Amino acid sequence: MSKYWSELTASLVPYVPGEQPKDKRYIKLNTNESPYPPSPAVIAAIKSAANEDLRLYPDPTCEKLRQALAKYYGLTSDHIFVGNGSDEILAFAFPAFFSPEKPILFPDVTYTFYPVYTKLYGLTYETIPVDEQFNIEAEQYRRPNGGIVIPNPNAPTTRYLPVDDLRVILEANPDHVVIVDEAYVDFGGESAVSCIPEFPNILVVQTLSKSRSLAGLRVGMAMGHPDLIEGLNRIKNSFNSYTLDRLAIAGAVAAIEDQDYFMETTRKIMATRDRTIEILQPLGFQIVPSKANFIFISHPRQSAQSLFSELKVRGILVRYFNQPRIDQYLRVSIGTDEEMDYFVSVLREILG
Amino acid sequence: MSKYWSELTASLVPYVPGEQPKDKRYIKLNTNESPYPPSPAVIAAIKSAANEDLRLYPDPTCEKLRQALAKYYGLTSDHIFVGNGSDEILAFAFPAFFSPEKPILFPDVTYTFYPVYTKLYGLTYETIPVDEQFNIEAEQYRRPNGGIVIPNPNAPTTRYLPVDDLRVILEANPDHVVIVDEAYVDFGGESAVSCIPEFPNILVVQTLSKSRSLAGLRVGMAMGHPDLIEGLNRIKNSFNSYTLDRLAIAGAVAAIEDQDYFMETTRKIMATRDRTIEILQPLGFQIVPSKANFIFISHPRQSAQSLFSELKVRGILVRYFNQPRIDQYLRVSIGTDEEMDYFVSVLREILG
């Protein structure tokens, strides 16, 4: 606390990212990174962009990247916004579309950054309970609101809501923006980008951090009606004109264009996920059906917190959330087959 | 305008960066970029960081970069904050330290992003007129306020305020944060970083965009009392945990460590600036004494707006501000000696 802080600063409860301990080398299954490196085309594009042009500002509109994304999604570039990770895009979208008067709705079990944004911008929110199996129930999103955020698949639960159910929410809320946070959609889900021509109130947010193996490059994208994209640009251009550097733009374009590599690595991760689930079930684990690059697991005989600690001692990091409804669960990112085999063998050892 | 925009979004008047036309190749003297490439060590560091680790999140605390900066400034790393350009740091600092109740003070002629930030965060401001020669008068900053922003040297005027005058402002405002925006301080000014041990209320903001030839990499830094740094971190961690990507961190560390290259390029730019001023004076130009990598010039016989247009037609971009007090001036970035010679020859042609 400092007398120089604004009231806002003093009131904030900032987000805490997954730990990155440096005391020893861990198998990192705790921050949903890809176990596979980015496409070789991405590395080549970045090396090629590491040249004397770095003395010049990047294109503030990131037109080349937006064109590549437009082609990929079958949209025009005025439907596309890009930012410094999907977190930054969400941080722009909350003030762009939400107002303090009415609560924003999102699930009670979800990405813990959402309430942090509301606090930053003086907004209010109401959480809608997911059901006992962690399903998001579309019918619950018919109550008065000032906007909605639906993570799909949801984190940390891995639960996926079919696009038809999303349509129910979109139709019930024609006067408010519905943000669909699709950070994990490329691991078996179907994107709601297909709803954009029909619904001027949907904003789909995605990221290169997970399915394109580029958590270290900080690039996210949002797709929606050009009016929504203009709203995001108004906030962004009142904050920082150049949020993507030249290297990030070059790498991101290459990532989007290398569809073969993307298909291959996401397919491998899904196969490893499904294989891991098959091995864990006989050990007594309850596993939520996953459409993400992580799984959400619980064991009836062992507390999640102690499992978390036992794994950490043995060099494996997973994520444990000490919060209501999910404190018996662990979120485990999908690594390589070898990493998951080791993870399972350590679990066997712990369970005895 | 869209019914989906928040009231805030509708009310904003976003910042407009200098134009980046693509219709033909220009001599770009309009966005204060360095005419020299970044240090070869920066390029090498980026290429080396373009590896498979890009799949992993960057260090959210940017400890390695903060250590390099701490060493450079003779501070400890808890006095250092880094961000996606100094614009992002200012965008965090305004809500971190300023509140709506009392006006923020800054000069009437200055960086046009300051009022944009106030609007974004619902803050109020009062502009303090610079004198007829565009000097910032320290004594004017004794009136009631909720915080102060002093650009030093000021943009676009190039005027520099000696650190002793800054101390007058700091001493007169012990209860409020004084942000000193030193984007251009490396071209002949003295940094107010020396005031940090004495004043817990000073935040010094700098950038790698100008003096380190890295406008395309998006890295800025802020130095101040650890309490102020913590305030910035509270806002940042409520917005986006990872604002600097792995490549930007690697390049920035190399830039800070290559002091020889930095000294050489800034010295060359200052020499070209002083030489350009000597050539322009006999042509009748009035030139504000500059401690920046640009000059602010006016001609008694020719309107600045028409000069701007005539230069553009001839392939030279400079910056013209159609606003009170400075609409007879042009802001001209310092290029290479060859670029400035060509600029002068074209001016001679226009003046006839």
Q: pLDDT by residue for chain B (352 residues), tens digit each?
A: 899 999 999 999 999 887 777 777 899 999 999 999 999 999 999 999 999 999 999 999 999 999 999 999 999 999 999 999 999 999 999 999 999 999 999 999 999 999 999 999 999 999 999 999 999 999 999 999 999 999 999 999 999 999 999 999 999 999 999 999 999 999 999 999 999 999 999 999 999 999 999 999 999 999 999 999 999 999 999 999 999 999 999 999 999 999 999 999 999 999 999 999 999 999 999 999 999 999 999 999 999 999 999 999 999 999 999 999 999 999 999 999 999 999 999 999 999 8
Closest residue in A to B88 (Cα) is A240
Task: Give A32→chain B minimum CA distance, Å.
Answer: 9
Using a CB-CB cut-off of 8 Å, the residues of chain A touching B39 are none
Give me the residue label for tokens 């298909």. Answer: A263
Give me the residue label for tokens 């519905």. Answer: A178
Q: Say which residue, A177 or B352, is predicted with more confidence.
A: A177
Pair type for strands A330-333 and A294-298: antiparallel
Q: Do A176 and B3 touch (CB under 8 A)?
A: no
Using a CB-CB cut-off of 8 Å, the residues of chain A touching B228 are 2, 4
Using a CB-CB cut-off of 8 Å, the residues of chain A touching B176 are 4
Give me the residue label for tokens 């060099």. Answer: A315
CATH topology of domain B40-259: Aspartate Aminotransferase; domain 2 (3.40.640)
Exposed/middle/buried for residue A277 (C-beta within 10 Å: 0-12, 13-18, 19+):
middle
pLDDT at position A24: 78
Calculate the CA B212 to chain-centre distance. Answer: 12
* Residue B21, φ and ψ in degrees, nearest 5: -65, 150
- Which residue, among B155, B106, B152, has the nearest Cα to B128 in the 3D structure? B106
- Give dist(CA A196, CA A206) in Å, integer: 14
Closest residue in B to A213 (Cα) is B55
pLDDT at position B19: 76
Both structure tokens of B138: 């320290």
Best of A245, A261, A268, A319 to substitute, by most chain B Cβ atoms within 10 angstroms, is A245
Helix pair angle (B246-257, B40-49), 10° resolution: 150
Strands of the sheet with A178-181, listed across from one edge? A80-83, A220-224, A202-207, A178-181, A148-151, A104-107, A125-128
Both structure tokens of A59: 């294109």
Where does chain A hold its CATH 3.90.1150.10 domain(s)? 7-37+260-351
Which residue type does B258 have? Answer: D
pLDDT at position A352: 87
Mean pLDDT taken over chain A: 97
Q: Do A6 and B95 touch (CB under 8 A)?
A: yes
Name which of B20, B55, B231 is nearest A36 (Cβ-Cβ): B55
Task: Give B173→chain A minimum CA distance, Å.
Answer: 11
DSSP A197: T
Residues of chain A above pLDDT 70, percent: 100
The answer, yes or no, to whether residue A23 has pLDDT greater than 80, is: no
Using a CB-CB cut-off of 8 Å, the residues of chain A touching B112 are none
Using a CB-CB cut-off of 8 Å, the residues of chain B touching A53 are 216
Closest residue in A to B239 (Cα) is A91
Name which of B17, B88, B245 is nearest A218 (Cβ-Cβ): B245
The answer, yes or no, to whether residue A22 has pLDDT greater than 80, is: no
DSSP A276: H
Q: Do A91 and B50 touch (CB under 8 A)?
A: no
CB–CB contacts below 8 A, A to B: 274
User: Quick check: A290 and A278 in contact, CB under 8 A?
Assistant: no
Name which of A6, A37, A96 is nearest B97 (Cβ-Cβ): A6
Where does chain A hold its CATH 3.40.640.10 domain(s)? 40-258
Using a CB-CB cut-off of 8 Å, the residues of chain B touching A48 are none
Task: Give A244→chain B minimum CA distance, Å.
Answer: 8
Best of B32, B46, B55, B59 to substitute, by most chain A Cβ atoms within 10 angstroms, is B55
Name which of B5, B6, B85 is nearest A242 (Cβ-Cβ): B85
Q: How confident is the model at residue A44 (pLDDT cuts 50, 70, 90)?
A: very high
Closest residue in A to B251 (Cα) is A50
- Give dist(CA A56, CA B73) in Å, integer: 26
Give me the residue label for tokens 């220009």. Answer: B26
Q: Do B17 and A50 touch (CB under 8 A)?
A: no
Using a CB-CB cut-off of 8 Å, the residues of chain A touching B43 are 50-52, 54
User: Quick check: B63 and B77 in contact, CB under 8 A?
Assistant: yes
Using a CB-CB cut-off of 8 Å, the residues of chain B touching A4 are 97, 176-177, 200-201, 227-228, 231
pLDDT at position A3: 96
Gyration radius (Cα) of chain B, Å = 20
pLDDT at position B352: 86
- Give dist(CA A152, CA B327) in Å, integer: 52
pLDDT at position B62: 98
Name which of A28, A56, A240 is nearest B88 (Cβ-Cβ): A240
Best of B6, B229, B261 to substitute, by most chain A Cβ atoms within 10 angstroms, is B6
pLDDT at position A117: 97
Q: What is the SS3 assignment for A104?
A: strand
Peptide bond into A156 cis (omega under 30): yes
Where does chain B hold its CATH 3.40.640.10 domain(s)? 40-259
Q: Give A335-339 contacts, CB < 8 A, sequence gap 24+.
A: A335/A27, A335/A28, A335/A29, A335/A35, A335/A272, A336/A35, A336/A36, A336/A272, A337/A272, A337/A275, A339/A27, A339/A29, A339/A35
**CATH fit for domain A40-258, picks 3.40.640.10, 1.10.10.10, 3.40.190.80, 3.40.50.970:** 3.40.640.10
Query: CB within 8 A of A162, min separation 6: which ones?
Result: A190
Q: Do B243 and A84 touch (CB under 8 A)?
A: yes
Q: Do A99 and B7 touch (CB under 8 A)?
A: yes
- Which residue, among A312, A330, A332, has the nearest Cα to A321 in the 3D structure? A330
Q: Do B213 and A12 touch (CB under 8 A)?
A: no
Query: CB within 8 A of B16, min separation 6: which ones?
Result: A237
Q: Which CATH architecture has domain B7-37+262-351?
A: Alpha-Beta Complex (3.90)
Give me the residue label for tokens 């920035």. Answer: B252
pLDDT at position B53: 97
Exposed/middle/buried for residue A24 (C-beta within 10 Å: 0-12, 13-18, 19+):
exposed
Q: What angle do CA A306, A308, A314 make, to 5 degrees?
A: 105
- Which residue, among B136, B140, B146, has the nearest Cα to B181 in the 3D structure? B136
List, for residues A248-307, the tens digit of each pLDDT value: 999 999 999 999 999 999 999 999 999 999 999 999 999 999 999 999 999 999 999 999
List, for residues A185-201, the tens digit of each pLDDT value: 999 999 999 999 999 99
DSSP A17: P
Handedness of CA B147, B152, B156, B157 (dihedral sign): positive
Using a CB-CB cut-off of 8 Å, the residues of chain B touching A25 are none
CATH topology of domain A7-37+260-351: Aspartate Aminotransferase, domain 1 (3.90.1150)
Does an H or E element contain A345, and which? helix A337-351
Calculate the CA B6 to chain-centre distance. Answer: 30
User: Quick check: A257 and A70 in contact, CB under 8 A?
Assistant: no
Greatest Cα pair distance in chain A: 60
Query: CB within 8 A of B99, min separation 6: which ones?
Result: A6, A7, A8, B123, B146
Give me the residue label for tokens 């009310």. Answer: B11
- Give dist(CA B312, CA B330) in Å, integer: 12
Task: Give A78→chain B minimum CA distance, Å.
Answer: 15
Terminal-to-terminal C-alpha distance of chain B: 47
- Give dist(CA B131, CA B114) in Å, integer: 19
Using a CB-CB cut-off of 8 Å, the residues of chain B touching A87 are 239-242
Name which of B50, B97, B245 is nearest A4 (Cβ-Cβ): B97
Kindly give the residue spans of alpha helices, DSSP state H, lying in chain B: 7-11, 40-49, 63-73, 85-97, 113-120, 163-172, 226-236, 246-257, 259-280, 304-313, 337-351
Where does chain B hold its CATH 3.90.1150.10 domain(s)? 7-37+262-351
Kindly give the residue spans of alpha helices, DSSP state H, lying in A194-282: 226-236, 246-257, 259-280
